[in-house]
Amino acid sequence: MPARIYITQPVAQGAIDRLKEVAEVSMNPDPLHIMTKTELIEAVRSNDILFCLLHDHIDAAVVNANLKLQAIASMTITPADIDVAAATARKIPVTVIPALLLNDATADLAWGLLLSLVRRVTEGDRLLRSGTFPGSQSRYMEGRGLTGKTLGIVGMGGVGQAAAARAHAFKLKVIYYDPKQLPPDEEKALKLTWVPFQQLLAKSDIVSIHARLTPESKHLFNDETFGRMKPSAYLINSARGPLIDEEALVRALHDRRIAGAGLDVFEHEPKPHADLLKMENVVMTPHTGSAITELRAAMANVVVDNILALLEGKKPPNCWNREIYDDN
């Protein structure tokens, strides 16, 4: 009997077709519907493998809904919303995708948010659609320039480095903070200067977050942090929502302690803070850093590669909880 696989939202058709060659595949067909806990439990009960996406919350009750569950195959870099401990306890592999797949796409989106914010692109779009066309050389829609400004990057992993590489086209000075400083030759190649975190906050005209979310980095940006930034500075976050204390961000924006924010991620996804939705000095996208057709297809096919390896009795190439194989 072929394996039964459930996909929690639509993914690239080519990836689905590959699975259909070896398994029975069913799925939630609605890209706007994030499955509820009850729906996930029902899906797991009648399937052997769960193919899940970013906003699916896979807790212990979901994991344990089927004692014959063979795998949880996630299309995320880290299984933040999966109870990996519950899966590991039952030796259920949890698979992910490699982070490097998303480096360029996420950096591109960060720059899209930044340009839209400083040049007031989305604000101008709303204005024009509402029927207002101000004098094009009046001061009504003035934004900020980038040339000669200082960009501070927090987190210099793959995405941070991709963002830094793009900065030089805009003639920006780039400083960065990361607990692990890059080797001198890499800093020179990217024209980077490492500075302490507090110094980065004080000197940057734009702060772009590309840090990993850890217990230590949660709420790295808070009331104190915002108090150290320039009132004219912009904040960009395309990394992880909980790196920012969203209540503190709302206060900083409301009090004009910072000039604006460009956000692709939020502390309590899928719901951004209600006050952010009302602010003209905020540009937002719904966690779409990887939303490129070719990239999403590549991501889905990595998930399929992991599943096919499992069905062939092999260790999947991107297993998060590899310790389940230690005794084998």
Q: What backbone torsions phi and psi does residue 275 show, to the nearest 5 degrees?
A: -70, -30
3-state secondary structure of 177: strand
Q: From the candidates 240, 246, 257, 267, give the one annotated as an active-site residue.
A: 240
The DSSP result for 41-80, as a single string, is HHHHHT-SEEEE-TT--B-HHHHTT-TT--EEEESSSS-T
Chain centre distance of CA 247: 20
3-state secondary structure of 268: coil
CB 273 within 8 A of CB 251: no
Q: Is 246 designated active site?
A: no
Q: From the candidates 119, 212, 269, 296, give the one annotated as an active-site residue.
A: 269
CB 200 within 8 A of CB 225: no
Q: Is 323 designated active site?
A: no
Distance of alpha carbon 90 from alpha carbon 102, whole angstroms = 31
Q: Is 240 designated active site?
A: yes
Distance of alpha carbon 315 from alpha carbon 145, whole angstroms = 51
3-state secondary structure of 25: strand
Distance of alpha carbon 222 from alpha carbon 249, whole angstroms = 7
Sequence-distant (6+) residues with CB within 8 A of 311 are: 3, 22, 23
Please give the C-alpha separations between residue 212 and each of 101, 240, 283, in angstroms, as whole numbers.
Answer: 16, 7, 22
CB 28 within 8 A of CB 7: yes
Residues annotated catalytic, as ranges: 240, 269, 287
